Amino acid sequence: MIDLHVHTARCGHAYGDVPDYIRNADRIGMDVVAMTDHLPLPPSLLAVNPRAAGYAMAEQELADYVQDVLKARDAAALDGGPTVLLGIEADHIPGEEAHVSRLLEQYPFDVVLGSVHMIDGWAFDDPERMEDYARWDIGELWDRYFAQVAQAAASGLFDVMGHTDLVKKFGYIPEDGNDERYRTLAGALAEAGVAIEVNTAGLRKPCAELYPALPLLKAFFDAGVPATIGSDAHSPEEVGYGYDLAVEALREAGYSSVCYFRSRVLQEVGL
């Protein structure tokens, strides 16, 4: 079992510290766990959006976060626990690539998830900002979101693209079908050489399904995009959440292996 997407209390909207998550991972027999808390957001965004301080850890927390994970990695190695990877989930905000690379190059990350949580500064996954959906044509919103995910992948900053159809979180889904959108995104991610995750957090949200939806996962498989599995745990008991459903979806899409990353190099494991 692998879980490549796990948060901690440092981001301001999750519960529990690194050892709490690793203890639960060990309890359920997890083999590989990547801690991937939210990378500090760029100062330019924090200056204009008062809610953004609650979306990610503060910049002065990053060094301590890394130390916590490295300590937990050594402790788990000593007592036969899971393999612990040093990861991070970084927002892709167009124009802020230098902020991300400046922070990434300071630490020996194993894996970097790239996620789009914002469009023009609107955190479309924040329940407190849901009223803004009314301002969009949903098809145009999806086009815009997928274009930004493709742009993020092409930046070369990331190993895995996070929750690749997060835009469906609250159930705003275009009625005209998404086959073309899915094919285009899968082609772009294949070309960029990134992996995707099957993220089980969607099961716990109003959309009530995995990210990505099965037809998008099939498009990724057809395009040759490697896949991993992540719970996006924001509390320790969510580690490994929905694991069997993720495996089932991967198999149904055609996958017979998944991946994780060590020092940012892809490792393949059989499903």
Binding residues for Fe ion (CB under 5 A): 89, 115, 162, 232
Q: CA–CA separation, 202 vs 90, rounded Å?
A: 19
Candidates 3, 68, 232, 238: give the one binding Zn ion (CB under 5 A).
232
Q: Which is nearer to Zn ion, 42 or 81 (CB)?
A: 42
Binding partner of residue 110 among Fe ion, Zn ion, none, CB cut-off 5 to 8 Å per kind: none
DSSP 147-181: HHHHHHHHTT--SEE-STTGGGTTS---TT--HHH
Which residue has its beta carbon closest to Fe ion?
Answer: 115
The nearest distance, CB 179 to Fe ion, in angstroms, is 25
**Token pair of 48 as six digits:** 């204009």
Residue closer to Fe ion by CB (options 89, 238) is 89
Task: Report how far residue 33's alpha carbon sits from residue 83's, in angstroms, rounded to the nearest whole number.
Answer: 6
Please state, in angstroms and rounded to a whole number, the distance separating the CA atoms of residues 223 and 149: 16
Strands 83-91 and 111-115, by their bridges, are parallel
CB nearer Fe ion, residue 89 or residue 159: 89
Mask: binding to Zn ion, 185-224, rule CB under 5 A, as x and -?
A: ----------------------------------------
In angstroms, what is the minimal distance from the CB of 242 to Zn ion?
14
CA distance 110 to 85: 6
Q: In the bound complex, which residue of the shown chain has the CB atom lying closest to Zn ion?
A: 232
CB-nearer residue toward Fe ion: 78 or 150:
150
Between 42 and 162, CB nearer to Fe ion: 162
Q: How far, in Å, CA of 199 to CA of 229, rounded?
A: 6
Q: Which listed option, Zn ion, Fe ion, none, makes contact with residue 200 (CB within 5 to 8 Å by class)?
A: none
* Three-state SS at 256: coil
**Residue 213 C-beta: closest distance to Zn ion, Å:** 16
Binding-site partner at residue 3 among Fe ion, Zn ion, none, CB < 5 to 8 Å by type: none
As a whole number of angstroms, the distance between CA 191 and CA 224 comes to: 10
Name beta bridge partners: 38.
Answer: 89
91 contributes a contact to Zn ion by CB under 5 A = no
| Cα 243 to Cα 90: distance, rounded to the nearest angstrom | 23
Name the residue nearer to Zn ion (CB basis): 110 or 238: 238
Which residues bind to Zn ion, rule: CB under 5 A? 232
